[in-house]
Amino acid sequence: MSERRIPRPAGAVLLALALCLPPFYLDAFWLRIGLFAMAAAIGAIGLALLSGTAGQLSLGHAFFLAVGAYGYAWLAGEPGPGLPPASAAVLAVLLAGAAGGLFSPVAARVRGIYLGVATLALVFLGHHVLLTADSVTGGFNGRSVPPLEAGGFAFAADGPRLTVLGVPFGAEERLWYLGLALFAFTWFTARGLLRGRPGRALAALRDSETAAAVMGVDVARYRSAAFVVSSMYAGLAGVLLALAFRRVVPDYFSLALSVDYLAMIVIGGLGSVAGATAGAVFVTALPLLMTRYADQLPLVAAPGSAEGAVGPTEAARYLYGAAIVVVLLYAPDGLHGLVRRARDRVARRRRGTPSPDPDPAPSPEPSAPPVRPKEHTP
């Protein structure tokens, strides 16, 4: 008897409809968690393309997020050109891609830990510029972020009053659908890249540059292109983060943010769009949830408590640091690999197919055939 399974297009439609429902049922706290998670997922997908698929280590992802966030705030705000917010958002993403393009010659020539150290310099340089370029960045205090407007519709609470099915739509409700649209765009474009010729070329570069060059892959070109595309995804994530925070400050775009993004793709699974999304949700939501429920958790102090206690943010870092160790030891392919193996195991049980033995016993060597006595002809 054949199994009844939901077709993939129908499952995608059902998932999309389910993701459209939270603004009607959840309060602003949960919607903000979702917004931050979607922004982090967009940036994590870009880093997964660069580090997981192309095999290039980057510790400078926070720099490109800052370029996108501050680029939008300056291009659409005052002081600044005061461009239409939609145009400013597009230009901010392109500006992040241009920053990645300026750095791409370095990415085309160095790799591994050397590339990681080179990108680390971007974070420190960018943080210094954010603190000193007061006329553009606002210095230590940062600057406010203009709300996004498109076609006369404002993604902010102070826009025209909007009520849908009896639910008043404020800033979080409106930004939820914007973040959902941007995440869907990132998801499908990234999966298209991975399944097409660029993805195969980047995977070949990760496995062996020599073999990829022999097969006709332009090594320097593809490595530079991967860095530019990853930077543009990071810039898009920075724009969405700026809209969600409504104010950008230099201290947020520090080395710790780059480490968080590395944790996302390691926990979720390197080179996987779905894994990067799962890791982003885990790393982003954990500290926010621990902050809200700190008074109900053991060994975790509420924010502003006495010194010496472990705060929610530090506790969350300890937890997903431990999660990284567990993943590296027992599931090198991350959460995505665990889910895939569990799904395959369930499918085999439904079909009645025995699970493959993970460590099959070696087959005995065949014994030598018996030697027949040589026949003598009379």
Residue scoring higher pLDDT (282 or 372): 282
Read off the pLDDT of residues 33-52 as tens digits, 9 standing for 90 and up.
999 999 999 999 999 988 88
Q: What are phi and psi of 367, to 5 degrees?
A: -75, 150
What is the structure's pLDDT at 2?
41
Q: What is the pLDDT of residue 363?
A: 44
Res 165 pLDDT > 50: yes
Residue 6: the pLDDT is: 52
Q: How far are the Cα atoms of 88, 117, 224, 276, 319 from residue 111, in angstroms, in the given order? A: 33, 10, 12, 22, 30
Mean pLDDT in the chain? 82
| pLDDT above 60: residue 358 | no
Q: In degrees rounded to 5, what are phi and psi of residue 254?
A: -110, -175
Is residue 378 scored above 50 in pLDDT?
no
Asked if pLDDT for residue 150 goes beyond 50, the answer is yes
According to DSSP, the β-strands at 143-144 and 247-248 are antiparallel
pLDDT, greater one: 262 or 375: 262
Q: Three-state DSSP class for 346?
A: helix
pLDDT at 364: 44
β-partners of residue 248 are 143
Alpha helices in 48-196 (DSSP H): 61-76, 85-109, 113-132, 134-137, 171-195
Per-residue pLDDT of 322-352, as tens digits, reads: 888 887 788 777 778 788 888 888 888 887 7
**CB burial class (10 A; 0-12, 13-18, 19+) of residue 129?**
middle
